[in-house]
Amino acid sequence: MISLLDRVRRFIHENGLASRQTRVVVALSGGSDSVALAHIVRELHAAGDLRAAGAAHFNHQLRAAADDDERFCVELAEAFGWPVSVEREDVRARARRERQSLEHAARTARHQFFERARARLKADVVALGHTRDDQAETFLLRLLRGAGPRGLAAMHPRNKSIVRPLLSCRRSELRGFLAMRGADFVEDESNADVTIPRNRIRQDLLPQLAGQFNPRVVDILANEAELAREAWEWLESEADRLEAFVPGPPGRPHELDIQQLRSAPPALRRLAVWRAMNRAARGKPISFEHVQAVLRLMNSVRPGSVDVPGHRVERVGPRLVLTNRPEGSSGRRFPTNLFEYPLSIPGEVPLPLVGCALSAETSTGNFVELEAVGSDAAVVRRDLCGRQLRVRNRRPGDRFKPLGVGGRKKLQDFFVDRKVARQRRDTVPLVVDERDRIVWVAGYAIDEAFQVTDPAQAVLILRLKHLGGPA
């Protein structure tokens, strides 16, 4: 039977965590797992498998015994002849100051310290003492919170300069390893606090699952995490090839090609959208529901947009356009992507940004009966339109006099009254004359000034044609 030390040695080799010349700092908390890791790294150093660079201890100042734990770690490192890097921080105060959960603040502070300790001790990696039990707990915790394959991958053996050599070991094995050497460690009394979700999983849920369903549940869940990690790594590599995320010049939006997304399997499609949204969100969380809303937008045949944390996603012709919002802004009243095109008389102008086209044709005859409101065609007086029209989207201050309303109205108020979705308003084409007066809010209403009142008048027929999405 392979020894615990040999199993760790094999795990390190298989996952590329360290070589003979790799300088390793042990993150030492004083608990059984980290103390066992320190003994294992010491023995691997003696065997020439790696180079022990020292120990690092971070005092979170959360427990009455925290200072005693710090002294224990310093004494153990000194007994090994190792240099030790120690820092303290009031993590509870940090959590309040930065409005974070205590768990998140502690993890952030701890990992920032690890990087400083690594540099201070001139090391290549920092080794953490996470075990197979920790992996199973993390998998369950994330499963219950609704994680996808990325979250269910749980803890990776290596994440940049952080390595976890003990992920193949059970916690009970490590305690047996220490007992054989007569090695002491400290007990963290907070591990018994079942108000902490991880502790409740450790103390209640896992024993229940082991007793009633599968005694090997920890190994099963840890294996599932490994499978999820392999699946996630494959998805990531495939998404690198799929992703049509194209950064534009400064201040311009990012884009995703809808046809490319549609050609991909659903899992890759979702991942490409999620990655693009996370880049645009600037650290704000992107949930399953946010991605789902963008996928629905992608499958729509009409232009539109979705407001999500930190940015807006718009369906503009054949692309999804991701546009950052200013910090503190819940939305954008007017679009960053303004468009404006000349419309000849007669003539037609395609609007690729909104997936439609507008045309103008001259005619004479009795068109007075044709309704101009709420259709994709409008009939207006030719003599008032000048030599050329323009097609644009809305601008701040736009007003017009909708037919039958009896007075001038802000375009914004008109959209609200007509219950035009907020995300649609920036993409509604406006036909304007040479004086920038609104002639037609395409698909909704003409301005009363351009109403045909005499059957003998020359008229323009304006038509809105929906081009739909890419094939």
User: Does 3.30.565.10 match the CATH number of domain 340-466?
Assistant: no
**Which secondary-structure segment (H or E) carries 117?**
helix 102-120
How many CA atoms does the CB half-sphere of 43 hold within 13 Å?
A: 14
Amino acid present at 275: R
pLDDT for the residue 246: 47
Q: Write down the residue that tokens 């200013």 correspond to.
A: 326
Q: What is the DSSP letter of 402?
A: B
Is the CA virtual torsion 249, 316, 306, 329 positive or negative? positive
Per-residue pLDDT of the chain (471 residues; tens, 9 = 90+): 789 999 999 999 999 999 999 999 999 999 999 999 999 999 999 999 999 999 999 999 998 899 999 999 999 999 999 999 999 999 999 999 988 888 889 999 999 999 999 999 999 999 999 999 999 999 999 898 777 888 888 999 999 999 999 999 999 999 999 999 999 999 888 887 788 888 899 999 999 999 999 999 999 999 999 999 999 888 888 888 776 444 444 444 578 888 888 888 999 999 989 988 988 887 788 888 889 889 988 887 766 788 888 888 888 778 888 887 655 444 444 444 567 788 888 888 888 667 788 999 987 555 444 444 346 899 999 988 888 899 988 887 789 999 877 788 999 899 998 888 887 888 899 999 988 899 999 989 999 999 988 877 888 999 998 765 432
CATH of the domain spanning 248-324: 3.30.465.60
CA distances from 26 to 30, 77, 89, 166 (A): 11, 10, 19, 12
Chain region(s) in the chain for CATH 3.50.40.10 = 340-466
DSSP-H helix ranges across 121-205: 132-145, 149-152, 171-181, 197-200
Cα angle 154, 156, 159; round to 5: 125
Distance CA 276, CA 292 (A): 14
- What is the Cα–Cα distance from 42 to 449, expressed in whole angstroms? 88
What is each CA distance from 299 to 1, 64, 295, 339, 466, in whole angstroms? Answer: 56, 57, 6, 23, 15
Residue type, position 172, single letter: S
Residue showing tokens 């650290």? 283
Do 382 and 413 meet the contact criterion of CB atoms below 8 Å apart?
no
Residue range(s) of every CATH 3.40.50.620 domain in the chain: 4-233
What is the distance of C-alpha 180 from the center of its chain? 47
User: Full-prediction pTM beyond 0.75?
Assistant: no
Nearest by Cα to 45 from 11, 14, 81:
81
Q: What sign does the dihedral 48-50-55-57 (CA atoms) show?
A: negative
Residue with the two structure tokens 């507008």: 358
Q: Are 428 and 393 in contact (CB under 8 A)?
A: yes
CA geometry: angle at 98 spanning 96 and 101, to 5°?
65
The residue count of the chain comes to 471
Q: Under CATH, domain 4-233 is a member of which superfamily?
A: HUPs (3.40.50.620)
- Sequence ranges of the chain with CATH classification 3.30.465.60: 248-324
CA 387 centroid distance within chain = 49
The answer, yes or no, to whether the previous bond of 346 is cis (omega within 30 of 0) is yes
Predicted local confidence at residue 253, as pLDDT: 54
Crossing angle for the helix pair 4-14 and 32-46, to the nearest 10 degrees:
80
